[in-house]
Each structure stands twice: as C-alpha cells, then as structure tokens.
Structure 1
Amino acid sequence: MSFNRGRSLSSAACAGAVTVLVAGCSSAAGDAAARSAESSDPSTTASASVQPLTAAELAAALPSNGSLPGYLVTGTPRTSTGGGPSDPDVRPEACRPLWDARSGVSVTSVARAWVAITPSGFAPPTEVLTFAGYGPDRADAYVGSLDKALDACPSLSFVSRNGDRTTADVERVASPGAVGDATVSFRVHWTVDLDGFESDTFALITTVRAGAATVTAMSDISVGSRLSTSKKNAFIPKPDLVMLKSQADALREAQAR
C-alpha cells in the first residue's frame, strides 16, 4: 500500500589571530563545511522537505476489494489524525509501543488509515492493515522504537476485555526479507481460560517503513489449547512477504504524487 507528498570563512581572518582563535576559525570552517555538505545531501533535503500524507491520502492508498491478490478486503477504510493514545494498562511501560502496534496505533504519527482484510484459505485469522504517515525522520524513529522495545520485552501484560490482567509472551520474528526501508516483525502469544475452556491466541505484527510512512499488518487467531503443537503451528500467522512488499510499494507511490 503506499506517501508523497555556506558560507566559507576567510583564511585572512584567521591568519593574524592568536593560536586559540586560529583553532576556533578552523573549527568553525569545519562546521560550515559539514553544514554545507549536509544541505547538499539529497537524502537529507528530501527528508526535510517531505510532507506527511494526510488521512485521506493514506486511505486512498489502502487496497480495495479485488486489488490484493489472495485477500478479501472486508470493510471500508477508517481514518484518524494524530497518533492516538497509548494503552496505559500495558506493563512494563517500555512495552507499550508493541501493544499499541497490535492496535494499529503509533503515537508519533500525523495520520492513520486502516482496513480489515481476510486471507483466503481455511480458518483465516483476523487481519488489519494500517497505513501511518509521519513528519521528517519520525517514521524511522518509530520503527526504531519497536526494535528497542522488542529487546526489552520478552513478555508484557495487558488488561483483557473482562478486566483480568493477562500475561503474554513476546517473540521477535525473523525479517521476512527485503521489504521497504526497514522491517520489524514480532509475535505475541497468550492463553485465556473461559469457563474451563482454554484457548491460545497468537498475534503477528509486522511493520514496514516506506519513506516517511509505515504499513503495519496485524493478524490474530485463537485456537484450542488442547490442540497438538504441530496443529497449532499450522494456524499461527506468518509474514506474507508478497503482500507486505505490495503495500510498501503502494505507500511509496502515494508519496511520489
């Protein structure tokens, strides 16, 4: 899916100065040269000049039904401006970005748009695609925050719908391949006992940065805890490299308009 939107110091001035001033001039000249080089760096210039995609532009970049091979788009896009609130019930606090990502929230984004999709096949998981737009350098920082949180969070806890505090295991998933500018993928797993019936929920969250925007794919599936490990593994969501790349490309196209 897809976001578009010197001075030189006089050597004569230093020539008659005392040693400490000469050193100061040399340092200032170096700083000026560095600033000049930085301003002429196309990647720096592009980052500073890019305009974040609006919520409407993000929504327009999301797939429509029939445009995403292997998937059905099961709803209409929804949008939000701003990053949205982080979940205060998640503990430790350092793990909040991970749980927020599962909810499609990135607190530093300028706007978001999301839509529900369903992969074809038996017992498909619940899946949501979220596009988010950022100001200069914020998308890269956001992906970095997820990576940092994964290093700090082998597990986290959250408050379930019935008010119980539930502990979930967190596992980093190996990068699915060369997708976008940066990719972070992880799985969260927890068990729920409902009147004696235990079920395991597996959530896969993959975030891909494409320029100043990100696409996050979140898949949730619940299976009976009594199933064998091999059968559970058959249901656990895996990153879809082809789909992720197509959505990162769509975000790039939107940014190029």
Structure 2
Amino acid sequence: MQPLSAAELTAALPRDGSLPGYTVTSTPESTNVSSTSDPNVKPEACRPLWDAHGGASAASVARAWVLMTSTGFAPPTESLTFASYDSGSADAHLASLDKALDACPSLSFLSQYGDRVTADIERVASQVTMGDASTSFRMHWTLDLNGLESDTFSLITTVRTGEATVTAVSDSIVGSQLSASQKRAFLPKMDHDMLKSQADDLRKAQVR
C-alpha cells in the first residue's frame, strides 16, 4: 500500500469546530519533502527528539499539521501533526525516539537570539492505549531575555497507527515564579480522548 500523500493527510486533519474543547487556530499546512534535523542541536543522537518537538521526522514521506488551542484560562500552545511512512518506517521512527530517550537526559539548541539553551528531557510513562505503539516525553528549558526568565514545559506524544503517526505537542510557557520542585513536577496535560480521536481518523484515512 502506498503511504498517505500530503493531501490525504491534510484531509484527515481536524478543522475548527470538529474537536470538542479545542479551537483550530491555523489552516492545515503540508509537505511531501522529508525533513532534515537542525545541525545546531547537540548531541546529534538527540536530534530525533527535537525533530519530534517540531512535529517532524526524517523518516516520513509526507506531513501535514495544524495549530490549535484548548479552551480555558492560559491554554498551552499546541500542534497536531500527521505523518506517513514507507512500509516499516513508522515503526522504525518510534524505535528511534525510544533509542534517543534512552541516550539523552538533555539536549541543547540555539535560541532565536543565538544563545545555546539546554533542555532537560524525561520519558513520560505512556498511558496511551490507542494505536499500535506510542511514546511520550517531556522537555523543559529556561530562557533569559534581558534578565527576565521564562520556563517552557513541553509534552510530546507520538502515536503510531499502521504506517502513519500522529504527534501532539503541548507547550506551556510560564514565568519564573515556580519553585524548583514545582518545575520538576510540572507536566502539560495529555488529552487521551483527543489523541484517540485523531489516531482513529488517521487509521480510517489509510483504509482506501
């Protein structure tokens, strides 16, 4: 079976009003071009994790994505990416994430201002029960802009269903008012119902 095209992935993505509790804040975007990892991310072995944070995968043959936000006070910034793969490559992509999580307690990247920033990484025990396989992890980093600190907490969850994946990324940005213990415990919310609905839609798109 041929992998889903960018157009087919785009058609399967949610539109505004179709996800209870969410507002889709962008029109779908897509590409048939394989992504390349940011060479500024170090160590190199950790780049698949930074790619996943951007909804990308070097192994995919097509991707489509939207931005969205949940209802409520100070909602996180969220993205949803569908990706398709040649036979066996979706499973290999999940394996590459697991391998990187075993090897990478942290990674570093360049901020938009050219500063090198270190992000701590922690595997999150997966409670996802949909799809064929899944992996989830948290990233946390601190930015200092002219003496004003802010912390970003990101939850990245990738679910494989057949030869495709759905990756949900939730970024919560807060001021520096959290204590060290609160920072260690902070975890953006994983919406299992939303993830299940999107994994189901992605599976249906592969039945053609």
TM-score range, shorter chain: over 0.9
Instruction: Write out aligned runs for 1:110-121 (5 A).
Output: 110-121=61-72
- The structure 1 residue matched to 2:128, chosen from 168, 174, 177, is 177
1:70–1:119 contact (8 Å) kept in structure 2 = yes
Deviation string, structure 1 residues 137-165 (Cα, Å, up to 9, x no partner): 00000011001100000000001110011
Structure with more helix by fraction: 1
* 2:132 equivalent to 1:186: no
Q: Tell me the equivalent position of 1:107.
A: 58
Percentage of identical aligned residues: 68
Separation in 2, partners of 1:111, 1:177: 24
Structure with bigger RCO (C-alpha 8 Å, 6+ apart): 1
Instruction: Calculate the aligned-residue CA RMSD, in Å.
Output: 1.6
Q: Structure 1 stretches (4+) deviating beyond 3 angstroms?
A: 228-236
Q: Distance in 2 between matches of 1:108 and 1:152?
A: 20
Point out where structure 1 has 5 or more consecutive residues left out of the alignment. Answer: 1-49
Mapping for residues 1-257 of structure 1, pairs under 5 Å: 50-228=1-179, 236-257=187-208
How does the TM-score come out when normalised to structure 2?
A: 0.96
Deviation at 1:72, TM superposition (A): 0.7
* Structure whose CA Rg is larger: 1
Using the alignment, how far apart are the partners of 1:215 and 1:65 within structure 2?
18
Return the TM-score normalized by structure 1: 0.78
Name the structure with the higher strand share: 2
Tell me, in whole angstroms, the C-alpha distance in 2 between the residues paired with 1:236 and 1:227. Answer: 13
Contact kept, 8 Å, 2:138 with 2:187, in 1: the verdict is no
User: Which shows bigger deviation, 218-227 or 202-211?
Assistant: 218-227
Structure 2: gaps (5+ residues)? none
> Contact between 1:177 and 1:241, CA under 8 Å: does it hold in 2?
yes
